[in-house]
Amino acid sequence: MAPVLFLTLLFFLNFTARILLAPFLPTIERELGISHSGAGFFFFLVSAGYLLALVGSGFLSARLTHRRTITLSCASLGIVLLAICLADSVWAIRAGLVCLGLATGLYMPSAIATITSSVGSGHWGKAIAIHETAPNLAFIAAPLAADLFLRWSSWRAALGLLGGISVIVAVVFHRYGRGGEFLGDSPSFAAMRALLRQPATWLIALLFGLGVSSTLGIFSMLPLYLVSERQMEQSWVNTLVALSRISGPFMALLAGWASDAFGPRRTIVGSFLLTGLATLLLGPSPASWLVPVVFLQPALAVCFFPAGFAALSAIAPARSRNVAVSFTVPVGFLLGGGVVPAFVGVMGDAGSFGLGFTWVGALILAGAVSALFLRLPDRRS
């Protein structure tokens, strides 16, 4: 449990850094003079850097070990956040966001390899579910922190504080962290070919894209949508978005149990079916329905990830598991965490944020049908 819990703390910092701009977007738009699509493009830049780092992380972990790669990711994250908070132009911030994606992208492949090598396969769902409480806690903490800093300071101060904490935690993990003391597989042609020959690899990449769309993609643009199109007050929106994420950690643990009990495929299908419906309703819901839908959608969306990572771990042996993550998750995060926020921002500039959310919900529903065709090997073998 100790390595899993320490990694959960690092993942919390990692994920908070990637989403912290979302509750600040209305303020950032006014300060920097950018459009809705320009604000959405921020998340595309982070996702682009994240994709590049995920693809290349195997080369580092093959030489540094997974634990040292995780340490490097956390330390680099802190340095980049400190640089962004001092940036004095939009272009400098954009460059910093690409570097932010690069720093955070090194983490996930090594973390999943470390966790799944530390526990038996029959407990993967539960161990990953504990790890997945980190982004759910980050979804709660980020809007509350944003509201606090908007009252007493600025969004730059929030990034600077998080950067300082990340550097300190990286030093502590380097000294006391456990697990991951082995080299990963470098993304060799043979390893890539073995993975790409499996239809499940391509399908899981698509499913991750839809899963990230339902969580990170929606969260990134939801505060801006509620403030600019639904005319809600920004402080109330940040509080509402934070409260709506409280159920996330509990739902993630429940989904981890369901993945172990019923299998990843069935869990993914059920999650996408319900999440797609809830996401679709974000657009056309009248004011009296909107708050309940805002609470329901994230509670359902988080249920994908324990099953998704368990399915991803099942298609590759332990030594090559980081390679599997490096070639499937990047597609998911570029689509869900980059393309979807940018698309919703473009729809916002066209005068209809709501229609953008409706289209995303329809795609997630299509993902429930696609997941029926997912075929996984028996993990016990």
Q: What is the reported pTM?
A: 0.78
Q: What is the CATH number of domain 2-371?
A: 1.20.1250.20
CA–CA separation, 107 vs 6, rounded Å? 13
CA–CA separation, 300 vs 276, rounded Å? 9
> Where on the phi/psi map is residue 351: left (φ > 0), alpha (ψ -120 to 50), or beta?
left
Q: DSSP string covering 332-367, please?
A: HHHIIIIIHHHHHHHHHHTT-HHHHHHHHHHHHHHH
How many other C-beta atoms are found inside a 10 Å radius of the C-beta of residue 320?
A: 22
Question: Cα dist. 338→39, 101, 221 in Å?
Answer: 11, 11, 11
- The per-residue pLDDT for 323 is 65
- The per-residue pLDDT for 105 is 86
Question: Among 271, 268, 248, 267, which Cα is nearest to 258's?
Answer: 267
What six digits make up the tokens of 290?
A: 């909107």
Tell me the pLDDT of the chain (381 aa) as tens digits. Answer: 777 888 888 999 999 999 899 889 888 888 888 888 888 889 889 988 988 887 777 777 677 777 788 889 999 999 999 999 998 889 999 999 999 999 998 888 788 777 777 776 666 667 777 887 888 788 889 989 998 998 888 899 999 999 999 999 989 888 876 765 667 556 566 666 666 677 777 788 888 889 989 988 898 889 888 988 888 888 888 899 889 888 877 887 788 888 878 888 888 898 899 999 999 998 888 888 889 999 999 889 888 888 887 787 777 666 566 666 666 777 788 888 888 888 988 888 887 888 889 999 999 999 888 888 877 665 444
- The per-residue pLDDT for 45 is 92
Which residues make Cβ contacts (< 8 Å) with residue 374, sequence separation at least 6?
A: 200, 203, 204, 207, 264, 265, 268, 311
What six digits make up the tokens of 307?
A: 């099953």
CA–CA separation, 366 vs 332, rounded Å? 15
- The per-residue pLDDT for 158 is 92
CA–CA separation, 107 vs 12, rounded Å? 11
Residues shown for the chain: 381
